[in-house]
């Protein structure tokens, strides 16, 4: 169902890889709600994914950009405003990568070169993106910037590895930069802490299948899907949430407030 929530709004969506990704679902929903945007991803991710299919479907263009490169980001923002015909109203940062996780290095035995690369891609890129937008005065008043995160930023999930630290840093950047962006031009900055979601990145975490089932049994509403996260993101891009900023918003079926659930207890007391 479309509500025309984003009619006339323009933006950039980072990180759409394939149809499982939250950024992909969000792009589809933005299009349905009347928004226009450009898509961007790192050149290596673009080779792996199917972003051109999405661009065709949503009648938009793809601008390759390494989000850790200021030069690439400046080019991206300039081209986006040129293509879309004006300043931006929304930006989605949906980027995360840990080489330590990918290569099976334990949290207590990190390759720090990999750690720094992951931090740059997963968190510092959020600051670089906002700094570029801020310096270029590229956001319209009452615009909205959203980053995707996970609750491992607050609590221990052993196999999430150094991505937990990356997400904690990302959330802090959202608050700190959000203050300046809000004060200067009424732009709001928030993070969405999403349920474990079977995206390409998510499935790379050790024991993911078991964990997603556990989270589902713990959450009174069950896990939130990528499509549901896209719906929530749309509300944050819309004018209905003008005074929501500096928040880390849990979109997880209630998981973040649970201690234990009956379904999980039943596993331990042997009941069905």
Contact 35, 11 (CB under 8 A): yes
Using one digit for the tens of pLDDT, what is the confidence trace for 201-222?
A: 777 677 788 889 999 999 999 9
272: pLDDT strictly greater than 60 = no
Distance separating alpha carbons of residues 173 and 268, to the nearest angstrom: 40
| Residue 214 among the catalytic residues | no
What's the whole-number mean pLDDT along residues 134-143?
A: 98
Single out the residue of 205, 194, 197, 190 nearest to residue 253, CA to CA. 194
Q: Which SS3 state, helix, strand or coil, does residue 1 take? A: coil
**241 contacts: CB under 8 Å, gap ≥ 6:** 144, 188, 235
What residues make up the domain containing 159? 10-269
Distance separating alpha carbons of residues 145 and 133, to the nearest angstrom: 10
| pLDDT at residue number 11 | 98
Backbone angles phi, psi at 200, to 5 degrees: -60, -45
What DSSP string runs through 218-247? Answer: HSTT-PPPHHHHHHHHHHHHSGGGTT--S-
Question: Looking at the domain assignment, is residue 3 inside a domain?
Answer: no
Question: Looking at the domain assignment, is residue 87 inside a domain?
Answer: yes
Overall domain count for the chain: 1
What mean pLDDT value characterizes the chain? Answer: 95
Residue 26: how many other CB atoms lie within 10 Å? 28
271: pLDDT strictly greater than 60 = no
| pLDDT at residue number 9 | 98
| pLDDT at residue number 78 | 98
CA dist 170 → 29, 146, 164, 245 (Å): 24, 11, 10, 15
- Residue numbers in the known binding site for NAD(+) are 15, 21-22, 95, 167
Question: Looking at the domain assignment, is residue 109 inside a domain?
Answer: yes
Q: How far is CA 267 from the centre of its chain?
A: 33
Question: Looking at the domain assignment, is residue 245 inside a domain?
Answer: yes
Active-site entry in 31, 150, 169, 250: 150
Question: Looking at the domain assignment, is residue 1 inside a domain?
Answer: no
Question: Looking at the domain assignment, is residue 179 inside a domain?
Answer: yes
Active-site entry in 160, 169, 179, 214: 160
- Residue numbers in the known binding site are 15, 21-22, 95, 167
Distance separating alpha carbons of residues 124 and 168, to the nearest angstrom: 11
| pLDDT at residue number 270 | 65
Distance separating alpha carbons of residues 137 and 115, to the nearest angstrom: 32
Q: What are the residues facing 146 on neighbouring strands?
A: 92, 190
Distance separating alpha carbons of residues 50 and 246, to the nearest angstrom: 33
CATH number at residue 207: 3.40.50.720
Question: Looking at the domain assignment, is residue 95 inside a domain?
Answer: yes
Single out the residue of 191, 141, 131 nearest to residue 166, CA to CA. 191
Percent of the chain with pLDDT over 90: 89
| pLDDT at residue number 48 | 75
| Residue 160 among the catalytic residues | yes
Q: What are the residues facing 93 on neighbouring strands?
A: 147
Using one digit for the tens of pLDDT, what is the confidence trace for 227-238?
A: 999 999 999 999
Question: Looking at the domain assignment, is residue 2 inside a domain?
Answer: no
Q: What are the residues facing 39 on neighbouring strands?
A: 13, 62
């Amino acid at each position: 169902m479309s509500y025309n929530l984003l009619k006339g709004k323009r933006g950039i969506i980072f990180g759409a890889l394939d149809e499982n990704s939250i950024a992909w679902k969000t792009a589809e929903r933005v299009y349905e709600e009347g928004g226009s945007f450009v898509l961007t991803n790192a050149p290596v991710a673009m080779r792996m994914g199917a972003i051109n299919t999405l661009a065709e479907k949503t009648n938009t263009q793809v601008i390759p950009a390494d989000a850790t490169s200021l030069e690439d980001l400046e080019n991206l923002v300039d081209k986006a405003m040129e293509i879309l015909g004006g300043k931006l109203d929304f930006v989605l940062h949906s980027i995360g990568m840990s080489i330590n996780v990918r290569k099976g290095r334990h949290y207590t035995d990190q390759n720090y070169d990999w750690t720094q690369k992951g931090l740059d891609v997963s968190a510092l890129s959020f600051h670089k993106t906002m700094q570029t937008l801020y310096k270029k005065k590229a956001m319209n008043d009452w615009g909205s910037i959203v980053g995707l995160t996970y609750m491992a930023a607050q609590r221990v999930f052993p196999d999430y590895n150094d991505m937990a630290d990356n997400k904690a840093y990302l959330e802090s950047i959202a608050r700190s930069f959000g203050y300046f962006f809000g004060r200067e031009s009424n732009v709001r900055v928030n993070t969405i802490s999403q349920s474990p979601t079977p995206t390409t990145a998510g499935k790379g975490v050790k024991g993911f299948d078991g964990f997603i089932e556990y989270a589902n049994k713990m959450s009174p509403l069950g896990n939130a899907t990528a499509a549901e996260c896209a719906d929530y993101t749309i509300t944050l891009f819309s004018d209905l949430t003008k005074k929501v900023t500096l928040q880390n918003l849990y979109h997880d079926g209630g998981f973040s407030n649970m201690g234990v659930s009956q379904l999980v207890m039943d596993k331990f007391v042997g009941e069905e």
